[in-house]
């Protein structure tokens, strides 16, 4: 570069610097770091960009260092890379324990990274195992106790959920659908209307609780994300079935049960209340062959049952862990189960809930007696499974809803 070119470049840099508006935030930060007045302007005149100046300020370069650097005409101040030296556990080489599953989140739980504490104290979004910043804003989480939410199975279930994902648009054979008798098609559609709404609501409801759970229980949040995604798929698959074979959507689902979920004040209460429906729906879908009218529906119910089994596995283990850790809260759970069962009984008595099932089980509205008898059998099995699931969770219901007791002859 010739002298005249260098002078022209320097003048251009000064002109450009004169046109740059220096943010007040940068000036304030410079003062905090004892930068002399005019040092930012000097940096700009030397051709440094505002971004570089900002990086220096954010990198805590003090005024003396900055002045010395600019006097020397150097290029860019070299940071000290303090973050390379933080005392976290280093040298981790996670490996897939099961080659079929690949590298799972369970495989990461080694050394200190596998410490899932009983109580998580950090109120920020810090990743478990990383080095905390001393002063951070509270992110507003409310759930910091492992006993309230944790189940060890959420770790493998997350990866299983991803492995078992399915796509309603292409994994179900929509072209195989054949027209059904009018009453049967309408019964299918009414059931689909109800189940679509229940699934969508459950997804929206659980989503709203995610921001309450702190990072200490990362794996649980990941698992809940798969649950939310699963029920989203159920909602759309059921809707698609209702709108693809000459029917449509019917009457919206009853709101009694969902409303009691909405009223829950804490996440453990929500899970206990949701336990009842999660169990009942699992049994319903496991019995999908009895209500399905074609192969598509059999496949759809089987896929939904597989998804719901994961939810139930979590529910059972979570409840068992909760009761083991917090035995004083055992009786309290009866209150939530009692409330949920009462709402369930009410909804089971709703004609728009039970009649479609009776038509499907019986084979038409002209065979309602047969359908009702079969529905009694299904309801009995649902309650038996529910009680058995509670027992697996070490919970023995002392005051099971009277109608449920009648159903199982208890």
Partner 1 sequence: MAANPTIEPGLDLSWLNLYDEPATATPGKKGLTLKEINAGRYSDAARGGGDMTYRMRGAVARPGAHRFGPNYMSKSDVWSENCIMLYEEATQRQWASARDIPWDTLQPLPDEIERAMCQLCTMLTEVEFIAGDVPGQWLPFISAQDFEAGLFLMSQIMDEARHTDVFRKRALVNGGGLLAQGAGLGLRTLLEARDFTEMSVLMHVQAEGFVQSMFRMGELIGQTEADKRIFRMSAQDESRHLAFGVMHLKYVLDTDPDRAEEIHHYLDKAEGDASGGGSGDVTFPPVFESLCILLGGGVEKFDEGVQKFLLLRKRQINEYAHRLDVAGLNRRNRFGPLMAQFVDPV
Give, as ranges, the residues between 91 and 110 that touch partner 1 (CB under 8 A).
91-96, 101-105, 108, 110
- Residues numbered 26-55 forming contacts with partner 1, rule: CB under 8 A: 26, 49-52, 54-55
Cα gap 350→397, rounded to integer Å: 25
Size of site (CB under 8 A) for partner 1:
138
- Residues 228-267 interacting with partner 1 (rule: CB under 8 A): 228-229, 231-233, 235-236, 239-240, 242-256, 258-259, 262
Buried b (16+ CB within 10 A) or exposed e, 204-216: ebbeebeeebbbb
Q: Does 4 bind partner 1 (CB under 8 A)?
A: no
Rule CB under 8 A: which of 333-362 touch partner 1?
Answer: 345, 348-349, 351-352, 354-356, 358
Nearest CB to partner 1, comparing residues 52 and 392: 52
Least gap, CB of 248 to partner 1 (angstroms): 5
Q: Does 367 bind partner 1 (CB under 8 A)?
A: no
How many Å apart are CA 99 and CA 316, to the nearest integer? 28
Q: 219 near 155, Cβ under 8 Å? A: yes
CA dist., res. 331 & res. 314, Å (int):
21
| DSSP letter (8 states) at residue 150 | -
User: Which 267-306 positions form the footprint of partner 1 (CB under 8 A)?
Assistant: none
Position 20 contacts partner 1 (CB under 8 A): yes
Q: ∠125-130-133 over CA atoms, to 5°?
A: 65
Q: Which of 7, 9, 10, 23 binds partner 1 (CB under 8 A)?
A: 23
Binding mask 118-147 for partner 1 (x = CB under 8 A): ------xxxx-xxxxx--xx-xx-------
Instruction: Match 């979004």 to its residue by tokens.
Output: 125
Burial class of residue 24 (count of CB atoms within 10 Å of its CB; 0-12, 13-18, 19+)? exposed
Report which of 249, 268, 392 is spatially closest to residue 337, judged by C-alpha positions. 268
Q: Does 172 contact partner 1 by CB under 8 A?
A: yes
193 near partner 1, rule: CB under 8 A? yes
| Residue 231 Cβ vs partner 1, minimum distance, rounded to whole Å | 8
Residue 156 in contact with partner 1, rule: CB under 8 A: no
Contact set for partner 1, span 388-407 (CB under 8 A):
402-403, 405-407
Q: Which residues pair with 98 in a beta bridge?
A: 102
Does residue 157 touch partner 1 according to CB under 8 A? no
CA distance 333 to 64: 64
Near partner 1 by CB under 8 A: residue from 22, 153, 292, 302? 22
DSSP structural state of residue 263: T
């Amino acid at each position: 570069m010739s002298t005249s070119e260098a002078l022209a470049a320097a003048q251009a840099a000064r002109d450009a610097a004169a046109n740059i508006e220096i943010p007040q935030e940068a000036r304030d930060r410079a003062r905090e770091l004892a930068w002399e007045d005019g040092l930012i302007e000097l940096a700009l005149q030397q051709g440094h960009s505002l971004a570089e100046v900002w990086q220096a300020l954010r990198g805590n370069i003090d005024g003396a260092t900055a002045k010395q650097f600019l006097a020397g005409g150097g290029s860019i101040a070299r940071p000290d890379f303090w973050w390379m030296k933080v005392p976290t556990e280093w040298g981790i080489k996670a490996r897939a324990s099961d080659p079929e599953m690949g590298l799972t989140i369970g495989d990461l739980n080694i050394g200190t990274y596998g410490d899932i504490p009983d109580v998580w104290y950090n109120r920020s979004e810090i990743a478990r195992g990383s080095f905390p910043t001393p002063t951070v804003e509270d992110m507003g989480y409310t759930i910091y106790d492992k006993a309230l939410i944790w189940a060890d199975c959420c770790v493998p279930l997350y990866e299983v959920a991803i492995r078992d994902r399915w796509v309603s648009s292409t994994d179900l054979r929509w072209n195989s659908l054949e027209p059904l008798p009018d009453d049967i098609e309408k019964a299918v559609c009414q059931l689909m209307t109800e189940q679509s709404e229940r699934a969508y609501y459950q997804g929206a409801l659980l989503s709203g609780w995610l921001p309450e759970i702190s990072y200490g229980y990362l794996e649980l949040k990941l698992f809940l994300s798969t649950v939310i995604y699963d029920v989203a798929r159920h909602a759309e698959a059921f809707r698609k079935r209702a709108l693809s074979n000459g029917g449509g959507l019917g009457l919206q689902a009853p709101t009694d049960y969902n409303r009691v979920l909405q009223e829950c004040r804490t996440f453990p209460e929500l899970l206990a209340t949701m336990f009842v429906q999660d169990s009942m729906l699992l049994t319903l879908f496991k019995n999908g062959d009895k209500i399905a009218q074609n192969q598509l529906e059999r496949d759809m119910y089987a896929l939904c049952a597989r998804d719901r089994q994961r939810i139930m596995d979590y529910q059972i283990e979570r409840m068992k862990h909760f009761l083991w850790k917090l035995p004083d809260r055992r009786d309290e759970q009866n209150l939530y189960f009692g409330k949920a069962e009462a709402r369930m009984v009410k909804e089971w008595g709703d004609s728009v809930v039970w009649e479609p099932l009776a038509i499907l089980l019986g084979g038409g509205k002209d065979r309602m007696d047969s359908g009702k008898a079969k529905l009694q059998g299904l309801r009995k099995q649902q309650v038996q499974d529910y009680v058995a699931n509670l027992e697996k969770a070490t919970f023995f219901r002392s005051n099971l809803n009277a109608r449920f007791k009648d159903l199982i002859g208890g």
